[in-house]
Amino acid sequence: MTARQRRMLLVSAVVLGVSIAAFLALAAFQKNLLYFYTPSQIQAGEAPSGYALRVGGLVEQGSVWRDPNSLAVRFVLTDGAAKVTVFYQGILPDLFREGQGIIAVGKLEADGVFKADQVLAKHDENYMPPEVAEALQRSGKLPPVDEFKQGRP
Amino acid sequence: MTGEIGQLSLILALLMAAVQAFFPLVGAAWGLPLWMAVGRPAARAQGLFLAVAFWCLVQSFIANDFSLAYVAQHSNSALPLFYRISAVWGAHEGSVLLWALILGLWTAAVSVFNRGLGEAFVARVLGILGLISAGILAFILFTSNPFERLIPAPPDGQDLNPLLQDFGLAVHPPMLYLGYVGLAVPFSFALAALLSGSLDPAWARWSRPWTLTAWAFLTLGITLGSWWAYYELGWGGWWFWDPVENASFMPWLLATALIHSLAVTEKRGAFKAWTVLLSILAFSLSLLGMFLVRSGVLVSVHAFANDPKRGLFILVFLGLVIGASLVLYALRAPKVQDHARFHWFSKESLLLANNILLVTAAASVLLGTLYPLVLDALGLGKISVGPPYFASVFTPVVTPIFLLAGIGPLVSWRQGEVTQTWRRVRWMIPLSVGTAVTMGAVFFDLKHFQTLAAVSCALWLAATSLLPLAQRLRRREGLSSLRQPAGFYGMTLAHFGLSVFLFGVAISNQYSVEKTVRLSPGQSVELSGYTFLFKGIQESEGPNYRSDTGWFEVYAGDQKIAELWPEKRFYRVQRSVMTEAAIDWGVRRDLYVALGEALEGDSWSVRLYVKPWVRWIWLGGGLIALGGFLAAADKRYRIARVYGSAPQGALRSTSVPS
């Protein structure tokens, strides 16, 4: 094979590989992007119902309710300005507690309740997900900085 | 006092790194032997000062010196000694120091093991390593100094994050960093070759054992990290496509491509410019990984946090390193002559396919990792890219790799024989598919086409990777046919390990079962043929935590096969709760129990898993790493010959098969 032919082979192989990958990537991107919404945005009706999304905020004090016979749990997430009720079935993370900043992944039901498949809290009581911190900042309800240092391990 | 010695050693190490960078590089450019000779002693002195600095930090942790801010923030007098030592690299400052120390060790190793390399070449390699080291040490001293004093000293420390109080922290970061940082060596070799303007195959031969060693450490580090996440996080998963995992996986993919393209460059003198580019990119991605983890832009279990100064420093450093090396590449690479020719069906073209696929895979991971960050930085919304993206993009890209990896070693260089190769492997196809179907019928149900395909792939790879060995045994007489070079065994072992890994992934991903239940003492639950009986909870005290320990008995039919003691620990200093899963492991299945929360009465929420063949994932990773070490130990890499003076023919006759 001449150098020219080989170079052509190389170039076309690379182009083919990259375009297949790009196609797969874009197709997968469409389906698998998770957008983040604040409780205020959800209350304002900005979030679509029926699509997977993430919502974050502080767990409101006194809002956690557990079903005595199953693992179902319900709590209220707030960013200070608005609230959204979250329903979840399963084990909550170790650091889930009232007043803690958390992120829930799931779908918004037609009745306005957020049905979570996953609840995320980080392994640090001082940690607050950056999205949550920003949401609180926007509504002017961010706790004092020394109390909530972002992301300390 | 120890802290001040450490601080002083760090400053001296920085000065040594500057000396090690300046004199040898200038000396090599101007042809001054005396200046070039500075490289070796400077490199060793730098390594020594770094070792002293690191030892000082270890000593401060052992001695509970809470007047050091870093120790006060990440240790505690109640923390057991073992964890106090691994806590040294449990957070940002110390882990960057570990990074620098490991670079110092690699540099010192290069300064010792360079027999046969030309003086100017050694000087350039050491000079470039010195530049990288100087950058990292400046980063430590100006933004992340672990020896900063805290006045007045607090009576006790804030303790190490409970998640990190584990054996995993002792082994995962050092191994991972040995790999990450080790990629600086092939990077420096590539840049030195560009600077010297001659890219003859001997350069690739010198780079190969170093790249293989770094790659093997990286493989081991990632495997250990995966195993740690599996047993520690309590989620039963072994890979989460977490951005920080991706940050270590991308350099691994490129380094894998690199060890293969280096083989072509060494054996055939082809792909020269490409190999140089891969060396640059692999280390660049390793630095990018450092930026992602250390700058705090990521949200993940690994992200340490941070002031923005640090992120900016690394970003500038990253830009300088990548920018300068790519400029050098753009200036010098077009002059590289590549005369080697090969047929479309040859070892070269199969290795080319390997490289294209691996680089594509790395690019798809990079896209999924960086896209959310870029979007966020531009203020276009906050998104995250979930595991389904990676699964759906990654799987089709890597599948051909599993198929081709078995064929590559069977095909000759330059021009392969299509029909002959086909005749050698054709009976493998019905064999692997047939075995997969039989296994499926005997052990599992046959509903899943994907799993069947993946298991067939794994069996195909296992069979074809052992084929050359089997044929060598058959062709020649007795045990003398087993006397193959270490490189051959390393390759065979690594490819076989890949099949073991794939087998574990295919089976455990498809057939793992999970149940989250609410249990009171005396209640039992059935999962996948096993009965888990919850006997109750006992309280106990650990050195720095209080523990609720669950007592579970597992029965297969009437027979008790295991007792499991999962824990829920409350760490007193950090006032945080940690889950310690209990696992009964086996070759064919893991039984996994993690406690959830205490509910009303005596009942607890409990998470149970049965994970078939999951151990094979890490066994495969371990075999791949072992193969890398074995190949790196090949004697033929250490034959003394001065770089640049060897005749082509002589090189070829002793060069190493890929």
Predicted local confidence at residue B654, as pLDDT: 39
**B128/B205 same-domain check:** no
Q: Where are the alpha helices (DSSP H) in B31-160?
A: 33-36, 39-62, 69-74, 81-86, 92-112, 119-143
pLDDT at position B555 over 80:
yes
Instruction: Report the pLDDT averaged over residues B75-99.
Output: 93
Contacts of residue B636, Cβ cutoff 8 Å, sequence gap at least 6:
B485, B487, B654, B655, B656
Mean pLDDT of chain B: 88
Tokens of B644: 């640049």
CA B439/CA B460 separation, integer angstroms: 14
With contacts defined as CB-CB under 8 Å, which chain B residues touch A13? 352-353, 356
Show residues of chain A in contact with B343, CB under 8 Å. 1
B415 and B294 assigned to the same domain: yes
Give the distance from residue A33's alpha carbon to the nearest chain B alpha carbon, in angstroms.
5
Would you call A17 and B599 a contact, using CB atoms and an 8 Å cutoff? no
| B186 in any annotated domain | no
Residue B635 lies in a domain: yes
Where among B115, B149, B165 does a domain terminate? B165
Residue B51 in domain: yes
Find which of A27-36, B91-100, B433-442 is predicted with most confidence, using mean pLDDT: B91-100
Q: B268 and B132 in one domain?
A: no
Range of the domain at A16: 1-32
Confirm whether A98 is domain-assigned. yes
Answer yes or no: do A10 and A65 share one domain.
no
Co-location of B429 and B282 in the same domain: yes
Structural domain contains residue A118? yes
- pLDDT of B358 > 80? The answer is yes
Q: What is the mean pLDDT of residues B194-215?
A: 89
Residue B345 has pLDDT above 80, yes or no: yes
Residue B89 has a pLDDT of 93
A149 in a structural domain: no
- Taking residues B458-470, what's their average pLDDT? 91
| Same domain, residue pair A130 and A67 | yes
pTM, two decimals, is 0.90
Please tell me the predicted confidence (pLDDT) of residue B650: 36
- Under 8 Å between Cβ of B226 and B236: no
Same domain as A20, residue A48: no
Which residues in chain A have Cβ-Cβ distances shorter than 8 Å to B360?
Answer: 17-18, 20-21
Position B405 pLDDT exceeds 50: yes
B contacts of A131 (beta carbons < 8 Å): 299, 382
For an interface test with B, the pick among A54, A91, A147, A150 (most B C-beta atoms closer than 10 Å) comes out as A91
pLDDT band at A139 (very low <50, low <70, confident <90, very high): low
Q: Please indicate whether, in this complex, the C-beta atoms of B360 and A9 are within 8 angstroms of each other.
A: no
**B26-40 per-position pLDDT tens digit:** 999 999 999 999 999
Q: Are residues A9 and A55 in the same domain?
A: no
Q: How many domains does chain A have?
A: 2
Examine the pLDDT at B576 and tell me if it is beyond 90: no
Chain A, residues 67-106, CB within 8 A of chain B, namely 68-71, 90-92, 94-95
B577 in A contact zone (CB under 8 Å): yes
CA distance B570 to chain A (A): 10
Closest CA to B485 of B370, B655, B263, B310: B655
Nearest CB partner across the interface for A21, out of B90, B363, B599: B363
- The distance of A24 to chain B (nearest Cα, Å) reads 5
Which of B578, B593, B613 finishes a domain?
A: B613
- Percentage, residues of chain B above pLDDT 70: 93
Instruction: Find where tokens 């604040």 sit.
Output: A38
Spell out the SS3 assignment of B255-267. Answer: HHHHHHHHHHHHH
B254 burial via Cβ count (<10 Å: 0-12, 13-18, 19+): buried
Inter-chain touch B576–A33, beta carbons under 8 Å = no
CB within 8 A of B511, min separation 6: which ones? B444, B451, B612, B613
Q: Does B339 touch chain A (CB under 8 A)?
A: yes
Instruction: Please check whether residues A22 and A76 belong to one and the same domain.
Output: no
Is B348 in the same domain as B307?
yes
**Are A121 and A90 in a shared domain?**
yes
From the centroid of its chain, how far is CA B366? 16
User: Is A11's Cβ below 8 Å from some Cβ in B?
Assistant: no
Whether residue A60 sits in one domain with residue A8:
no
The answer, yes or no, to whether residue B504 has pLDDT greater than 60, is: yes
Taking contacts as CB-CB distances below 8 angstroms, the residues of chain A near B385 are 29, 32-34
Q: Is B517 at the interface with chain A, CB within 8 A?
A: yes
Alpha-carbon distance of B558 to B592, in angstroms, equals 19
In A, minimum Cα distance to B340 occurs at A3
Q: Are residues B603 and B627 in the same domain?
A: no
A70 and A127 in a single domain? The answer is: yes
Q: How confident is the model over B103-107, as a mean pLDDT?
A: 96
CA-closest candidate to residue B191, choices B201, B203, B202: B203
CA distance B350 to B361: 16
- Which secondary structure element, helix H or strand E, spans residue B524, and what is its range? strand B524-527
B-chain residues near A125 (CB < 8 A): 574-576
Long-range contacts, stretch B294-299, CB < 8 angstroms, 24+ apart? B294/B92, B294/B96, B296/A150, B296/A151, B297/B373, B298/B243, B298/B244, B298/B373, B299/A129, B299/A130, B299/A131, B299/A151, B299/B243
Same domain, B127 and B234: no
pLDDT at position B553: 95
- Highest mean pLDDT: which range of A137-146, B148-157, B335-344, B473-482: B148-157
CB contact under 8 A, A94 and B385: no
Give the domain CATH number at A130. Answer: 2.40.50.140
User: Residue B445: its pLDDT value, please?
Assistant: 66
Cβ pair A35:B383 closer than 8 A = yes
Average pLDDT rounded to a whole number, residues B510-534? 92
| Three-state DSSP state, B450 | helix
Q: How long is chain B?
A: 658
Report the pLDDT value the prediction gives residue B449, as an integer from 0 to 100: 82
Q: Are residues B554 and B411 in the same domain?
A: no
User: Which residue in A has a C-alpha nearest to residue B158's C-alpha?
Assistant: A153
- Indicate whether A22 and A63 sit together in one domain: no
Q: Residue B245 belongs to what domain range? A: 197-505+620-658
- Residue range A40-73, pLDDT digits in tens: 888 888 888 778 888 888 898 889 998 888 889 9
What is the reported pLDDT for A131? Answer: 67
pLDDT at B242: 83
Does the N-terminal peptide bond of residue B152 adopt cis geometry, omega within 30 degrees of 0? yes
Do A8 and A70 belong to one domain?
A: no
- A32-41, B235-244, B297-306, B415-424: least confident range: B297-306
- The residue of chain B nearest to residue A69, with distances taken between CA atoms, is B518
- Going by the DSSP 8-state scheme, the letter that residue B153 receives in this structure is P
Write down the residue that tokens 């906050």 correspond to.
B382
Q: How far is B42 from chain A (nearest CA, A)?
A: 36
d(CA B344, CA A1): 8
Interface test with A, best of B599, B603, B606, B609 (most A CBs within 10 A): B599
In a domain, A54, yes or no: yes
Is residue B173 included in any domain, yes or no? Answer: no
Q: Residues B236-260: pLDDT tens digits?
A: 789 988 888 899 999 999 999 999 9
Give start and end residues of each alpha helix (H) in chain A. 3-32, 39-43, 130-138
Question: Which helix (H) or strand (E) is B419 found in, with range?
Answer: helix B418-425
- The size of the A-B interface in CB pairs under 8 A is 132
Q: B382: which chain A residues are within 8 Å (Cβ-Cβ)?
A: 35-36, 131
Q: Percent of chain A beyond pLDDT 90? A: 8
Interface of B with A in 350-379 (CB under 8 A): 352-353, 356-357, 360, 363-364, 367-368, 371
Indicate whether A126 and A65 sit together in one domain.
yes
Is A151 within the bounds of a domain?
no
In a domain, A80, yes or no: yes
Residue B613: predicted pLDDT? 92
Do B524 and B440 share a structural domain? Answer: no
Strand pairing report for B545-556 and B530-541: antiparallel
A118 and A54 in one domain? yes
pLDDT at position B505: 93
Measured CA to CA, the distance from residue B475 to residue B462 in angstroms comes to 20
Domain membership of residue A148 (yes or no) is: no
Domain count across chain B: 3
Say whether both B210 and B139 belong to one domain. no
Question: Given the DSSP bridges, would you call strands A33-37 and A52-59 parallel, antiparallel or unpaired?
Answer: parallel
To the nearest whole Å, the CA of B185 is away from the closest chain A CA by 27
Q: Is B605 on the interface with A (CB under 8 A)?
A: yes
A74 pLDDT band, cuts 50/70/90, is: very high
From chain A, pick out residues whose CB is under 8 angstroms from the CB of B342.
Answer: 1, 6
Residue type, A116: A
B538 and B634 assigned to the same domain: no
Q: Which tens digits make up the pLDDT trace of A98-121?
A: 888 888 989 888 888 999 988 887
Specify whether B266 is located in the same domain as B296: yes
Written as one letter, the residue type at B542 is G
Confirm whether B225 is domain-assigned.
yes
Q: Do B577 and A95 touch (CB under 8 A)?
A: yes
**Residue B374 covered by a domain:** yes
Of A10, A123, A130, the CB nearest to B161: A123
A115 strand-pairing partners = A87, A107
Q: Is residue B181 part of a domain?
A: no
Q: Given an 8 Å threshold on Cβ–Cβ distance, is A34 in contact with B396?
A: no
Identity of the amino acid at B577: V
* A-chain residue closest to B372, CA distance: A33
Q: Which of B354, B577, B578, B603 to mutate to test the interface with A (most CBs of A within 10 A)?
A: B577
Contact residues, chain A, for B91 at CB < 8 Å: 153
Is B123 inside any structural domain? yes
Name B614's Cβ contacts closer than 8 Å, sequence gap at least 6: B230, B238, B504, B508, B512, B589, B590
Taking the Cβ of residue B389 and every Cβ of chain A, the question of whether any pair is shorter than 8 Å is answered with: yes
